[in-house]
Chain A
Amino acid sequence: MLRINCPVCGTRDETEFTYGGDATVVRPAMDETRAQLWLDYVFNRDNPRGPHTEYWHHVQGCRQWLVMERNTLTHEVGECHLAKEAC
């Protein structure tokens, strides 16, 4: 069980959240024509062993999108902030 420190609601159980994907992925510019960049953006993901930056949605709480640091090896949860805030 993860305990996630939502900046709005405080520390809550993982059951209130849904995972939203890798937060390090950056969408190519809309006029980008190289297919490989779009392929990477849509389908290809790293599978790191260790620190990972992720989107989580506090769907049963404040319904805010969060960016959270999580260690995929230890499940240790690090810094967490609102996705709409600048990193």
Chain B
Amino acid sequence: MPDIQSPLAAVRTPGRFGASFDAGPGITLSDAPLSGLVQIAGWDGFETAVKPALKTLGFSDAGDFCCSRQSGDATLFRTAPDRVLITGASAGDVLEIAGANAELAVLDLSHARLQINVEGRNAEGLMAQLAPIDFRLNAMPIGSFVQTGIHHIGVLIHRTSATRFELMVPVTFARGLWQFIGLNAAPFGYDVLEAA
């Protein structure tokens, strides 16, 4: 299988950009290919139909619409009443069992999304400029996620720590989003890390 290349390879320039502060830049930007990403969708009775597939990864059910679930290296997002996303290297383990169920529609999306990481003491401030969501820690605690739009592009934003957000973005829009995020990060000062 060919390696998945980052769509940012031609535009990502590691280094320090934007405003300069004594405390250093307030933002660190990086990207990482998703080690695995599988979407399972269904119709009425989805929760029952998807249970055996989720069980193989250690999830007891499909979860809820605001908080991710973790099991080993797999992360589960309930993105709609009849749809879930699973990320992580083991996500592909569900392809066979879920794919064998005619009540489910299974898609391997590993090649279709890129993860952009926004981290730092000003991460909340930057995110507030990007999307119309309350990103304060009490409104969006660690482990929660939202599906929203940045620059009119649908993204999934997952908070993994008080100062870190992971954005799952479509690879076809990744370059435009990367540049848009960089423009908004400039007033905070930001570092761009080498490719993962």
Contacts and interface: CB of A to CB of B under 8 A. Distances in A.
Contact of B149 (A8, A16, A62): A16
A15 B81 CA distance: 22
Q: Is the interface of A mostly helix, strand, loop or mixed?
A: loop
B132 A8 contact: no
B8 interface: no
A62 B132 contact: no
Contacts of B147: 9, 60-62
Interface string B7-31: 0000000000000000000000000
B132 A12 contact: yes
B80 interface: yes
A57 to B, nearest CB: 12
A9 B146 contact: yes
A6 to B, nearest CB: 9
B81 A61 contact: no
Interface in B163-184: none
Interface of A: 8-10, 12-13, 15-16, 59-64, 82
Report the 9 A-B pairs with minimum CB-CB distance, sorted nearest first: A60-B149, A13-B132, A62-B80, A60-B154, A61-B147, A8-B65, A16-B149, A60-B148, A64-B80
